[in-house]
Amino acid sequence: PPHGRLGCFPRPLRSAPLQQWCRGSPGSRPFSSPLFFSAGRQEPSGAMGCTVSAEDKAAAERSKMIDKNLREDGEKAAREVKLLLLGAGESGKSTIVKQMKIIHEDGYSEEECRQYKAVVYSNTIQSIMAIIKAMGNLQIDFGDPSRADDARQLFALSCTAEEQGIMPEDLSNVIRRLWSDNGVQACFNRAREYQLNDSAAYYLNDLERIAKMDYIPTQQDVLRTRVKTTGIVETHFTFKDLHFKMFDVGGQRSERKKWIHCFEGVTAIIFCVALSAYDLVLAEDEEMNRMHESMK
């Protein structure tokens, strides 16, 4: 039967070193025995250690790349300015956009200016036609009665010219004679009583240059063109390391319902009011003063 302290161990563990330890022998200590090394914590093998290390390194690289991209996106967003132009129709919103392009983007190229040629012709024809029509409503007679024939010729030639975006010589001569008439000038001076483009006098006074065969619109000609804005027009330009996004929206009442879609993320809103419109009425409501409409 087992006796002493050896009795607490199963038979296979009764090795000489262990017996010495159990008897209190000053021989080998248990931690120097192979038995106790096998029972301790096992270190991962070399191959497994390399695999974990490589995965950790790849994850760290991905994390650094994500942080870098987020930082760059943040810096880019900080340099981005979103401007929204609002205001009633013909308050100058599109003109501001053109001015920003001319000032900060080296203006319009020759090819871009050529594309505005038809718009210049259309604005010129529409302006003189608006004046002639208003003469009947305002009961203003031509200074020279023979100009009535020119007026009829104007309406006969204008439709084809506008559709084709041209200014035929016979049409330009008719417009020039009408514009020099005293009755037409008297009607022009009462422009507040009807709808007339702000650029009417600019184009009509310079008709000789505009009507030339080799005419190419200048930066100023393009700036003064009038095209009704529908929908949303986006323009980009850079100034002092800031990237500006300018949004131009139509100002007529029918277009204002689209404004709400442009407010997200806006840095600033520029509300435009034309001071020259203090005595003018809306094109869509001739009983509403433009200035009052802007301040509503």
Marked catalytic residue, from 19, 252, 253, 256: 252
Q: According to the annotation, is 94 in a ligand binding site?
A: yes
Q: According to the annotation, is 230 in a ligand binding site?
A: no
Marked catalytic residue, from 90, 150, 181, 293: 90
Q: According to the annotation, is 95 in a ligand binding site?
A: yes
Choose among 83, 91, 92, 85: nearest CA to 293.
91
Q: According to the annotation, is 231 in a ligand binding site?
A: no
CA–CA gap between residue 36 and residue 83 (Å, rounded): 76
Is 218 an annotated catalytic residue?
no
Q: According to the annotation, is 90 in a ligand binding site?
A: yes
Q: Is the dihedral of CA 35, 38, 39, 43 positive or negative?
A: positive
Marked catalytic residue, from 95, 124, 126, 235: 95
Choose among 183, 171, 179, 181: nearest CA to 202.
179
Is 95 an annotated catalytic residue?
yes
Q: How far apart are the first and last CA of the chain?
A: 111
Q: According to the annotation, is 223 in a ligand binding site?
A: yes
Q: According to the annotation, is 147 in a ligand binding site?
A: no
Marked catalytic residue, from 177, 248, 290, 293: 248
Q: According to the annotation, is 93 in a ligand binding site?
A: yes
Is 230 an annotated catalytic residue?
no
CA–CA gap between residue 2 and residue 22 (Å, rounded): 13
Q: According to the annotation, is 199 in a ligand binding site?
A: yes
Q: According to the annotation, is 229 in a ligand binding site?
A: yes
Choose among 184, 197, 180: nearest CA to 136.
184
Chain centre to alpha carbon of residue 249:
11
Where are any strands of DSSP class E within the chain? 80-87, 232-239, 242-249, 268-272
Q: According to the annotation, is 226 in a ligand binding site?
A: yes
Q: According to the annotation, is 273 in a ligand binding site?
A: no
CB atoms < 10 A from the CB of 90, how many? Answer: 24
Contact of 230 with 89, CB cutoff 8 Å? no
Q: According to the annotation, is 101 in a ligand binding site?
A: no
Is 238 an annotated catalytic residue?
no
CB atoms < 10 A from the CB of 48, how many? Answer: 10
Marked catalytic residue, from 176, 226, 253, 256: 226
Q: According to the annotation, is 224 in a ligand binding site?
A: yes
Q: According to the annotation, is 228 in a ligand binding site?
A: yes
What is the chain's length?
Answer: 296
Provide the token pair at 83.
């401007």
Is 235 an annotated catalytic residue?
no
Contact of 55 with 248, CB cutoff 8 Å? no
State the binding site for Mg(2+).
Answer: 94, 229
Q: Residues comprising the binding site for GTP?
A: 90-95, 198-199, 223-229, 248-252
Catalytic residues: 90, 95, 226, 248, 252
- Binding residue positions: 90-95, 198-199, 223-229, 248-252
